[in-house]
Amino acid sequence: RETLQNSAPDAWTRTQTQTFCRNEFNVTGLCNRQSCPLANSQYATVKEEDGVCILHIKTIERAHSPKNLWEKIKLSKNYTEALSQIDEKLKYWPNFLVHKCKQRLTKITQYLIRMRKLSLKARPKLVGVHKKVEKREQSREAKALKAAHIENAIEKELLERLRQGTYGDIYNFPMQQYQSALDEEEALAQDEEEAEELGEEEYDEEEE
């Protein structure tokens, strides 16, 4: 253990209480002689790949071929059958490894069940927000809104000048917009007249 920690510090993580192992084949996650997959020529662990539990077995007979060092055995989806498979494949192995492989299989089976349950529930979809893009779009919207206000102000000013006859008859202008502006002015004038008439009637009634 001391040799491993001194030579490969990236393979373990130390905390105040104990030291954890970062090797993916470690059956317990702890850095000690019994659980180390590098220090033991005979080793076994359980891993999950695409929702399937696989028993990985390393024996000394495979040490000459690092490519084929780990024998992979696919475990059954049935929890009871998977336990019996582990008992059969690790029949004469140390009880520590057999027990830890079963514990790891139980843990993986539990979180796979939770994953299936969560996938069936309706959950809100999280969408990433790009702050730079959002800020750029907001600035563009503000500029467009400002430009629209300026255009509206210019349009009102031009229509006002057209109504007053500032330019005479030497220009071309959109008759539809000019007519709509005149209609709006007439409607406003009528509303003001009606409001004044109602106010006068109420005043006369109070005097009587």
Q: What is the pLDDT of residue 27?
A: 87
**How far is it, in rounded angstroms, from Cα 203 to Cα 208?**
9
Angle between helices 95-120 and 79-89 (to 10 degrees): 160
106: which 2 tokens? Answer: 């139980």
Instruction: Kindly tell me if the per-residue pLDDT of 81 is higher than 80.
Output: yes
Instruction: Read off the pLDDT band of 3 (50, 70, 90).
Output: very low
Return the ∠ at Cα 35 (arms to 30 and 41), rounded to 5°: 145
Q: What is the pLDDT of residues 108-147, one digit of tens each?
A: 999 999 988 888 887 788 888 888 988 898 899 888 888 8
Q: What is the pLDDT of residue 206?
A: 55
pLDDT of residue 201: 59
Give the mean model confidence (pLDDT) for residues 188-196: 73
Residue 71 contacts residue 58 (beta carbons within 8 Å): yes
pLDDT digits 0-9 by tens, 143-185: 888 887 887 777 777 777 766 766 665 555 566 666 666 677 6
Partner residues linked to 54 by β-bridges = 47, 74
